[in-house]
């Protein structure tokens, strides 16, 4: 788990796709049918994106279909909000289930009938032991379980009790239906697993019709069989459940015979991918909702400005394997930068403004200069930006007493303002506290467009905006939500990064940015990629930093 994956496996091919290909070649299936089976008890995260891309992607590549199936077997935790969010997120990621939208709850009648079948054939019984007793008697990895005193009830008594459980005659948790398999099995999942529990709750789809709900293990494989799923792909923690998955199929008159395959789940540095923890982050107010741009949820990533194409590309590069690993989040950011570098329009914005007055530029005068929208794409065209006597530059682009290699603005040092002129700082204005508040500069009118006719060079090109013609904006910078590369999910609150959000409330942006939209990220030149946030108000745009320009992943790759 601890070695960070540095090399992507060959994209587009993996052991699951090899299995599907072999099955199709051998004629074991006419076509491939997969499913993505989320439980609607939270929002989808980037780990789910791996599963979605695999299930929908493989089905697409082999001309089959992928079902979206809600595993809605626990109404105590599931909500309509989550169902809606999951559908929206799968679509946004670029996949379409067409008519194939299903719910485990669509099969409640059939699953119930099959449970009676197991009772009738002597393979299931009603157990009156408490949850705690059941847990204790299940034994451990080294110690066999003990039979329940209710294990040998007659078929008639079991049927009677199970029907009364269904009718709602008993309080929640009073009894369960268990499969009768083997309390001494080396595989704990086969020690008489629970099939049904009593739960008096309202279900988003079936309302209060049911008083008993099937377990995940019992519902899942049978739902696969009903839908004719050929390859039921899940994560490695279900490997030990596979014998149970097969046991049900062996003991029930199911219409088809699916097979389960397991792959390694995605783990990312500085990230927790557990719905339980993500739910606690939201409920505990550690973040501002499921779509907080710091969250690894698809809703959060979308709001932050991450394109769906970058997620798909990332998932393709990490590949699918059976070995658990921890992927460096820098690899994800690298994919985001690649997609955005090619597509994002270039703009100028000053995040932490420092005023510049060009003393030899006429008062009241402005002029329009031409700026390119994308350096590698002439078709993206140009735009006009306004230059005037008063400008803003980035505070960090100025140093009063610079070290040797600082080539940006400092007293006496000439620099280029992008698309505009060469300027030189002549005087530094400070406030009473001694802080630099303004720079008095001169410009060289002969350098219009950013080149000197005498061929003299400057070592720095800086971004800037006009003071009068720029617009005030809020910019939100995001850092990792957790301060450790492998946060401990059981003690996550202690490992939250206190500096995960930095709000810059008086940034200045060029006017073209007032046309920005929440789904088209832009590059703020020299700063990174930014996306308009839904919190924006008329006259008060808010931008999220999607990702900075510096690429630590490229460095890692270059070094190896």
Q: Which residues are catalytic?
A: 39, 265, 275
End-to-end CA distance of the chain: 21
Stretch of 37-45, 197-205, 218-226, 401-409 contacting ligand ATP, by CB under 6 A: 37-45
DSSP H or E run through 191: none
Stretch of 11-19, 41-49, 167-175, 380-388 contacting ligand ATP, by CB under 6 A: 41-49
Residues 138-167 that bind ligand ATP (CB under 6 A): none
Least Å from the CB of residue 274 to ligand ATP: 7
Binding mask 242-281 for ligand ATP (x = CB under 6 A): -----------------------xx------x-x------
Residue ranges of alpha helices (H) inside 93-241 are: 108-120, 131-137, 155-166, 216-227
Stretch of 6-14, 42-50, 354-362, 549-557 contacting ligand ATP, by CB under 6 A: 42-50
**Contact flag: residue 39 with ligand ATP (CB under 6 A):** yes
Q: Which residue is nearest to ligand ATP (CB)?
A: 47
**Contact flag: residue 341 with ligand ATP (CB under 6 A):** no
Whole-number Å distance between alpha carbons of 125 and 154: 8
Of 38 and 541, nearer to ligand ATP (C-beta) is 38
Whole-number Å distance between alpha carbons of 420 and 397: 17
Q: Residue holding tokens 């809600």?
A: 70
Residue 283 burial class via C-beta count within 10 angstroms: exposed 0-12, middle 13-18, buried 19 and up: exposed
Least Å from the CB of residue 78 to ligand ATP: 10
**Contact flag: residue 34 with ligand ATP (CB under 6 A):** no
Stretch of 36-44, 95-103, 239-247, 330-338 contacting ligand ATP, by CB under 6 A: 36-44
Q: Are 302 and 290 in contact (CB under 8 A)?
A: no
Whole-number Å distance between alpha carbons of 489 and 367: 56
Whole-number Å distance between alpha carbons of 347 and 524: 5
Query: Among residues 68, 234, 310, 327, which is the contact residue for ligand ATP, using CB under 6 A?
Result: 234
Residues 44-63 that bind ligand ATP (CB under 6 A): 47-48, 50-51
Of 55 and 158, nearer to ligand ATP (C-beta) is 55
Stretch of 31-39, 101-109, 199-207, 323-331 contacting ligand ATP, by CB under 6 A: 31-39
Of 235 and 341, nearer to ligand ATP (C-beta) is 235
Three-state SS string over 143-171 comes to: CCCCCCCCCCCCHHHHHHHHHHHHCCCCC
Please, what sign has the CA dihedral across residues 102, 72, 178, 275?
positive
Least Å from the CB of residue 302 to ligand ATP: 18
Sheet of 101-103: strand order equals 33-36, 65-70, 101-103
Of 262 and 510, nearer to ligand ATP (C-beta) is 262
Parallel, antiparallel, or unpaired: how do β-strands 390-394 and 465-466 relate?
A: antiparallel
Of 42 and 345, nearer to ligand ATP (C-beta) is 42
Compute CA distances 170 → 180, 198, 211, 212, 239, whole Å: 22, 8, 9, 10, 34
Nearest to 481 by CA among 495, 467, 465, 491: 495
Least Å from the CB of residue 45 to ligand ATP: 7
Of 266 and 351, nearer to ligand ATP (C-beta) is 266
How many residues of this chain bind ligand ATP (CB under 6 A)?
Answer: 14
**Contact flag: residue 41 with ligand ATP (CB under 6 A):** yes
**Contact flag: residue 349 with ligand ATP (CB under 6 A):** no
Long-range contacts of 90-93, Cβ-Cβ distance < 8 Å, separation of 24 or more: 90/36, 90/44, 90/52, 90/56, 92/298, 92/302, 92/308, 93/49, 93/52, 93/53, 93/298, 93/308, 93/311, 93/312
| Beta bridge mates, 547 | 529
Least Å from the CB of residue 471 to ligand ATP: 41
Q: Which spans of this chain sit near ligand ATP (rule: CB under 6 A)?
A: 37-39, 41, 47-48, 50-51, 234-235, 265-266, 273, 275
């Amino acid at each position: 788990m601890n070695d960070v994956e540095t090399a992507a496996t060959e994209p587009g091919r993996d052991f699951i796709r090899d299995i599907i290909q072999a099955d199709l070649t051998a004629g074991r299936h006419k076509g491939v049918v997969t499913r993505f089976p989320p439980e609607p008890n939270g929002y989808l995260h980037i780990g789910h994106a791996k599963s979605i891309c695999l299930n929908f992607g493989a089905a697409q590549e082999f001309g089959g279909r992928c079902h979206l199936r809600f595993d809605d077997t626990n109404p105590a935790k599931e909500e309509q909000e989550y169902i809606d969010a999951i559908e929206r997120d799968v679509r946004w990621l670029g996949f379409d289930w067409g008519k194939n939208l299903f719910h485990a709850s669509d099969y409640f009648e059939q699953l119930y009938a099959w449970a009676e079948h197991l009772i009738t054939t002597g393979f299931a019984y009603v157990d009156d032991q408490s949850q705690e007793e059941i847990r204790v008697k299940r034994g451990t990895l080294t110690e066999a379980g003990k039979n329940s005193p209710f294990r040998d009830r007659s078929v008639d008594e079991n049927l009677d009790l199970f029907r009364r459980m269904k009718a709602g005659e008993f309080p929640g948790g009073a009894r369960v239906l268990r499969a009768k398999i083997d309390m001494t099995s080396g595989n704990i999942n086969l020690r008489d697993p629970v099939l049904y529990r009593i739960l008096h709750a309202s279900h988003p789809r079936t309302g209060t019709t049911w008083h008993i709900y099937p377990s995940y293990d019992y519902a899942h494989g049978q739902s696969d069989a009903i839908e004719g799923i050929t390859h039921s792909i899940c994560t490695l923690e279900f490997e030990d459940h596979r014998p149970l998955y097969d046991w049900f199929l062996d003991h029930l008159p199911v219409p088809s015979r699916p097979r389960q395959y397991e792959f390694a789940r995605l783990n990312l540095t500085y990230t927790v991918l557990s719905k339980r923890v993500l739910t606690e982050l939201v409920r505990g107010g550690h973040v501002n909702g499921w779509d907080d741009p710091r969250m690894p949820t698809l809703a959060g990533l979308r709001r932050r400005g991450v394109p769906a194409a970058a997620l798909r590309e990332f998932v393709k590069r990490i590949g699918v394997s059976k070995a658990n690993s921890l992927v460096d989040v820098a690899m994800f950011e690298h994919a985001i930068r690649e997609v955005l570098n090619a597509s994002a329009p270039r703009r100028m914005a000053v995040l932490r403004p420092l005023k510049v007055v060009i003393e030899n530029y006429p008062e009241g005068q402005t002029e329009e200069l031409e700026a390119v929208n994308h350096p590698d794409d002439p078709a993206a065209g140009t735009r006009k930006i306004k230059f005037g006597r008063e400008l803003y530059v980035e505070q960090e682009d100025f140093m009063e007493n610079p070290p040797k290699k600082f080539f940006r603005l400092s007293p006496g040092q000439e620099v280029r303002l992008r698309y505009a002129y060469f300027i030189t700082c002549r005087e530094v204005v400070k406030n009473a506290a001694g802080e630099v508040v303004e720079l008095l500069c001169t410009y060289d009118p002969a350098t219009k467009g950013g080149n000197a006719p005498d061929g003299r060079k400057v070592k720095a090109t800086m971004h800037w905006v006009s003071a009068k013609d720029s617009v005030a904006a809020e910019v939100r910078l995001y850092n990792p939500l957790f301060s450790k590369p492998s946060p401990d999910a059981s003690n996550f609150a202690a490992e939250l990064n206190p500096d995960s959000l930095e709000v810059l409330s008086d940034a200045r942006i060029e006017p073209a940015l007032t046309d920005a939209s929440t789904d088209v990220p832009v590059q703020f030149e020299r700063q990174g990629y930014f996306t308009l946030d839904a919190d924006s108000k008329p006259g008060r745009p808010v931008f999220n930093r999607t990702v900075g320009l510096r690429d630590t992943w490229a460095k890692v790759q270059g070094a190896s």
